[in-house]
């Protein structure tokens, strides 16, 4: 149950950031083109994070360690992002959005961990429960 809640909170916030990034940045003075670029870096960060942590989990089988890393990033990075938005230093905002996108690694790592935690159950059932929780 704890895993479902953790997965749900992180995946829900990742989806929310992806949806409202333009709404968040407009009052601060960024354009729609800037918000689109932030979205690109967010997705690139998700690809890199999923690749790195997915490979880490497949090699070491340390699911809990990977989940702790993702949870820590998901707690600290939004604070960093809000701070960098107000600095108006674009490369620093791109870096913060990239690191925030690394939270997307919750998909391969979280689903894999959920399947391992409930071994006899089918993967589709566990994936459905995790997605429902988010």
Res 129: pLDDT: 86
Considering its fold, how many domains does the chain have in total?
A: 1
C-alpha closest to that of 81 among 14, 32, 33, 5: 14
Query: How would residue 43 be classed by pLDDT, with cut points 50, 70 and 90?
Result: very high
A 10 A CB-CB count for 69 gives 18
Query: How would residue 92 be classed by pLDDT, with cut points 50, 70 and 90?
Result: very high
Is 59 domain-assigned?
yes
Q: Which residue has the higher pLDDT, 48 or 117?
A: 48
Within 8 A by CB and 6+ apart from 25, the residues are: 34, 35, 38, 85
Domain with 46, as residue range(s), is 34-129
Per the prediction, the chain carries an average pLDDT of 89
Is 102 domain-assigned?
yes
* Residue 55 pLDDT exceeds 90: yes
* Single pTM value for the model: 0.87
Is 114 domain-assigned?
yes
Q: How much is the average pLDDT of 53-62? A: 92
Is 11 domain-assigned?
no
Q: How much is the average pLDDT of 8-16? A: 87
């Amino acid at each position: 149950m704890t895993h479902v809640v953790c997965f749900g909170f992180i995946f829900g916030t990742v989806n929310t950031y992806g949806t409202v990034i333009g709404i968040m940045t407009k009052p601060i003075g960024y354009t729609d083109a800037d918000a689109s670029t932030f979205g690109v870096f967010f997705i690139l960060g998700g690809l890199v994070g999923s690749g790195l942590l997915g490979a880490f989990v497949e090699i070491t089988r340390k699911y809990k360690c990977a989940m702790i890393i993702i949870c820590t990033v998901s707690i600290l990075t939004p604070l960093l992002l809000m701070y960098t938005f107000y600095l108006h230093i674009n490369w620093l905002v791109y870096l913060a959005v990239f690191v925030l996108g690394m939270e997307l690694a919750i998909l391969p790592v979280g689903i894999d961990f959920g399947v391992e935690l409930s071994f006899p159950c089918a993967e589709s059932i566990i994936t459905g429960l995790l997605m429902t929780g988010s």
